[in-house]
Amino acid sequence: MHCAVLWLLTAVAACLGGAAVAQPLVVKIGHVAPTSGWMSIVGIECENAARMAIEQLNARALRVGDGPVAFELVTADDVGTESRARAAAQAMVAAQVRGVVGHLTSGTTLAAAKIYAEAGIPQLAPAATHPLFTRSGSRTAFRLVADDAEIARRLGRHAVEQLKARRFAVIDDRSVYGQGSVEQFSSAVLARGGRIVVARQTTGDADDFGELLSAVQAEQADAVFFGGTEPQAARLLRQMKRLGITVKLIGGDFICTPDLVSYFARGEAFDDQVVCAMPGGTPPVGDPATAGFIADYTRRFGIAPSFYGPHAYDAVMLIAHAMVRAGSTEPAVYLPALAATRDHRGASGVGTGLVRRDHVVRVAGQPGVRPARASAARRAGGHAGVADLLDRVLRVAVLHVRGLFCVRCRRCGAGIDHRGRIARMKGTTS
């Protein structure tokens, strides 16, 4: 009897021991973005998308190597400042995250990059565009959108060849992003025979562009390129209208949202005056993975994604899939698998080389595939966005305003409702 009881206790202990071994390994993935302040609408969407990716991964009960894993999202708010970004990065290292999705802006991404690199933690930036981020030799830095060099090259070509502009005014807000984008755009324009006739700097809180715009008029600039934020661009647009300056305002992804002309500068921009780059934002819904993401996000959070949510979602998935392929959650082990990722079908589109250092990561759609029409996009719960793909790495859009209510564009026959503030982003194919 004693032997039987001992055998039973041994068996129970073995079972309990087996159960303990079978407990999932908790794998922490970090997300850092401004979730407070004026950029919070973008940062919160990215954090929500990353959280949704974590939830979906855990629902699949993934195994890495020989054991089950449970992913946990660790979040931080960097408020969009470089000092807070460095502090957030140090907190992520202390929390022993195995990968980081972030940061949002170029300045904060670069500020944190060295900290992640020294800790050997892969950093996937869903929106940062400064070329230095992935051209500094770091093994841990990856991007999911085109960088400023590529954006500027496309915009410069478009401005000279399609807009037929020859004389340019360039303005930056002294930020890392602003100065970098102006430098790259100027080089692209000069390479195509254009001239920079006005070059000025401003500050983030400047609200008087009188002297600058007087120079634009005096030098008879054909277009103005602005490297700065959406609210700044709106202030510039308002003053351009008051002075009767109707030339194109060209800019990168930071100003390329419908809110620029339908909210921040409502009633102050001339129709089709703003030309900007769309390396990110919610992609077209022609791909089932994209449509699925939009539907899932809308169902989960009660609003359709409008910014870089798809890229943050993809970044989490790319980290997890690399871990599975490598059979390890250790950054040093799965990093080569991450760098070797090809043909990942993600929410931001199907692409090759989605996570190659020193290359454009995000590929918007397949070659030769056009986005769905506006009606199909709206049925899927998203926006039509840009009518046509410029190419596989980014799109050029013209902000096309038609009023404060959902209306039908006379040219394209499609309307779009952007949270009660209406703008049509009419694509170009140059």
pLDDT digits (tens, 9 = 90+) for 133-147: 888 888 999 988 878
Flag whether pLDDT at 234 surpasses 50. Answer: yes
**What radius of gyration do the chain's Cα atoms show?**
24
Phi-psi region of 30 (alpha: psi -120 to 50; beta: other; left: phi over 0): beta
Do residues 328 and 137 lie in contact, with contact meaning Cβ atoms separated by under 8 Å? no
Q: How many CB atoms lie within 10 A of CB 266?
A: 18
Look at the pTM and tell me if it is higher than 0.95: no
CATH tag, 25-146+284-351: 3.40.50.2300
pLDDT, residue 349, reads 67
Other CB atoms within 10 Å distance of the CB of residue 404: 13
CATH tag, 149-278+371-427: 3.40.50.2300
What local confidence, expressed as pLDDT, does residue 125 receive?
Answer: 94
Domain ranges of the chain: 25-146+284-351, 149-278+371-427
pLDDT above 70: residue 419: no
Torsion over CA: 125, 130, 135, 136 (sign): negative
Residue with tokens 């500094």: 136
Question: Average of pLDDT values for 27-43?
Answer: 94
Mean pLDDT of 153-160: 88
> Minimal CA–CA distance to 260: which of 306, 326, 191?
306
25-146+284-351 shares its CATH topology with 149-278+371-427 = yes
**pLDDT for 263:** 57
Confidence of residue 376 (pLDDT cuts 50, 70, 90): very low
SS3 at position 293: helix
Using 50, 70 and 90 to split pLDDT, how confident is the model at 397?
low
Structure tokens at 242: 């008051």
